[in-house]
Amino acid sequence: MRIGASIIMKNRVAVQSYGWNLLRPLGDLQFILDSLDEYECDEITVLRYARSEDDAQAYNADIDVLESCNTLSPLSFGGGIRSLKDLEKIRRLPVERLVFSSAVFEGNYSLIEEAATLFGHQAIQCLIPISYNNDKVRVFIPSQNRFIGVEEIDFESLHNLCNELIVYDTDADGFDNLFSFNALQDIKFPLPRTILMGGIGLDVIKRAKSEGVAAVSIDNRVLHKEYSILEAKKYAGL
């Protein structure tokens, strides 16, 4: 199992996110990437904060920041990739994998297929932000800023479109060990190709390993030494 880190990016800087709505500035992206390189983080996922108010200007500004970054760790990027023009800009970035969310929910499969041609099918990750309450899983649609029922998600198409699926627990976002494993029962996707994000702590990591998931992605708390990647690997026996 891989242990990665996720970074939320808004207005050209990295931010820490709590519960999917409270944001706290964290600072310069390059500084964070350097730290994660040093911690031997298995992979880094940079997600733009791309909700309904996102636009091309904000996208381009964030792309410029990422373009100037330099990291020796595997990098995934997502948030606001909605057109072929957006894809073309990503070619300038030091990223290997692309994360799609809105394109999946809006059925923009041709965009994802074009990305697979340009970057390889192994490079395609899809992300579903979820909320689990009263034994029900709801999925957040970033571009529409609303939740829908998980039964509306076409998992069969997802299975073919993407190499890996990121399940982002938005309620647990920024908190320790709160990831809802029960939600995985309603997500019809193979665990060996699933990445858990949001509410990842040492106990969640240990359980994720025993459940056979592909990876976990710890939020930016890994920047604090006590939550370092190396300690997490040691705790989980990796």
**Binding footprint of other proteins on the chain (CB under 8 A):** 2, 37, 40, 42-43, 67, 70-75, 90-97, 116-123, 163-164, 193, 214-215
Pick the closer one to other proteins by CB: 41 or 139: 41
Q: Which residues, other chains included, contact 83 with Cβ-Cβ below 8 Å and sequence gap of 6+?
A: 111
Distance CA 30, CA 45 (A): 13
Distance CA 25, CA 223 (A): 13
Q: How far is the CB of 37 from other proteins (least distance, A)?
A: 6
Pick the closer one to other proteins by CB: 3 or 50: 3
Q: How far is the CB of 83 from other proteins (least distance, A)?
A: 18
Q: Determine the residue type at 42.
A: D
Distance CA 179, CA 24 (A): 21
Q: How far is the CB of 155 from other proteins (least distance, A)?
A: 16
Q: How far is the CB of 7 from other proteins (least distance, A)?
A: 16
Q: How far is the CB of 125 from other proteins (least distance, A)?
A: 10
Distance CA 142, CA 79 (A): 9
Pick the closer one to other proteins by CB: 25 or 120: 120
Q: How far is the CB of 23 from other proteins (least distance, A)?
A: 28
Residues 30, 184: contact at Cβ < 8 Å? no
Pick the closer one to other proteins by CB: 93 or 158: 93
The DSSP-derived string for 154-181 is -HHHHHHH-SEEEEEETTTTTSSS---G
Q: Which residues, other chains included, contact 7 with Cβ-Cβ below 8 Å and sequence gap of 6+?
A: 14, 26, 29, 32, 44, 45, 46, 47, 220
Pick the closer one to other proteins by CB: 141 or 200: 200
CA distances from 87 to 29, 78, 99, 122, 169 (A): 21, 11, 11, 16, 26
Pick the closer one to other proteins by CB: 17 or 76: 76
